[in-house]
Structure 1
Amino acid sequence: MLEILGILLLLAALAAATALFYFRHLFDDPAARRVPSVAGALGASRVLAVFAHPDDEQLINGLLTSAKAEGAYLAMVTATPGDAGTQSPVVCRQSELGIIRKAEALKNGFALGIDEQEVWDYPDGGVPDIPVDELVARVTDAMKRYRPDLVVAFWPASGATSHKDHMRMGLVAEQAIERLKAEGGPSPRFVAYPLIPRRSLLKLGRRTGKFVAENQPLPTHSTPGNTASKIRGWQIHAAQADYVAKAYKMPTRLLYAIWDKEFYAVRDLETGQWKN
């Protein structure tokens, strides 16, 4: 009997190890250059993240915290207060969700070491309805104030998740950079687009994942994700605390034990080429 139990335990351990290897394979991309810090590898000392919603910054905890540890200045713009989000779990009246999520974004930004932060009041889900020139002008002004040498923004064609707000803010960030260059003043040297690993998108993301995978660039850099920071961030974003577990059908801690790297496509704005 003990011998049979031992065999069963061994088989269970092998199955668990196989599953862990498989999922880690999905959330990796060995083609990307592995660096301890994206900002450090680029020599960037001022970083500006341009996003659409509270909790978007959860994609780049590793980039932000490693840059901060090296003494970089960090700023972030979030275009909406996330007022149309689906609460997971429900923590407030829906009419007050924007107030709550704005506070969560500011609190998480503080925890990440962000020096200056803005959360604007554009409607969640309605960013594509705002005149592009208005958004570009505001982001351009933010870039003039914060003077980043590295901008982190969504890839306009896919937005990391195919969300229309993500895609529009990615486009706006690119147009703001082009406006700065045309004006002849200081402008960012690099832009980094956060990416979700392609194999995980194709295997787990269904139609949306396929769209994103087919419309995002290949990663040029990977850096360790700050797992503790990501878990803390979802605790701070209380209205979305269960989002990851529901979306990926596994506990948050387990997901980040598997998805323990962040991936970026980095473009050198002086040469127009992808940075290797």
Structure 2
Amino acid sequence: MFSKLDDKIRMLYDDKMGISTKVHDRIFSLIFKNDEYIGQYSDNSATDLLRMAKKAEINKNSHILDIGSGPGGPSCFLASTIGCKVTGIDISSNYVAYSNSRAKSMSLNNVEFIEASIWEANLPSNTYDSIIGTGAWCHLDPKYLFPLVYKWLKPGGTIAFMERVKIKELTDDEIYKLCTEWACTEIKSITDYFNLLYSSGFSDIYFENLSIEYKNILQRCIESRLKIKNELINISGKEFFENDFKLAEYEKKAAFAGKLGYAMFVGKKI
């Protein structure tokens, strides 16, 4: 059912991954100041991650599953900062290799990374204290994802994620630019997420609107790319830079038009 989308996601992140990693490390290190950038290619800071972890009741004894762990920044950050055990899962073989290298360079023995499609992963039920996502669940349909998360969580465990949300209706062209080109499913509204969380069995749902911070980050995304444009072109080539810049502009335009936002959700399995 999900094989075609999985293939698109693999192509998105495995094709020119080495170039993409170098480019986005440079961009995001400018977007997030001081210690707020910890290797995440998403619209949330280290402070956001720690706040989400606190709301999700993650502590040093927790076992976390990070779905769509990407380059491993959030997983390694939480493992090193909180001391919890983290299992990251990602469909990109290159990202998993990169994540394992990151963990090794940080001398972390409480984090591991698995290469697999979440739809094909044979994960044990009632195992994890918390299952998280940081800007990666746009690729996964929550209608099918949330019931799996519920199954894999221990009783009393928490789901916690930060993701783009639809504030106003999007045109077909905007959906293509924000979803199809990014190998994403449709962008859900805040109400959609609440309803899907409740219907999947979660309760005590916490919501935090991060849209103002999100808009500021998107603005800095554009400014940072322009500031080091020549450097980025030297790394990636002009075509890659221009395509990457266009995608960033599409997202910023939708956010500043009041159509696109960003939010944090935390819920509990009873």
The higher relative CO (CA closer than 8 Å, separation ≥ 6) is in 1
Which structure has the highest strand share of the two? 2
TM-score of the superposed pair, with normalisation by structure 2: 0.43
TM-score of the superposed pair, with normalisation by structure 1: 0.42
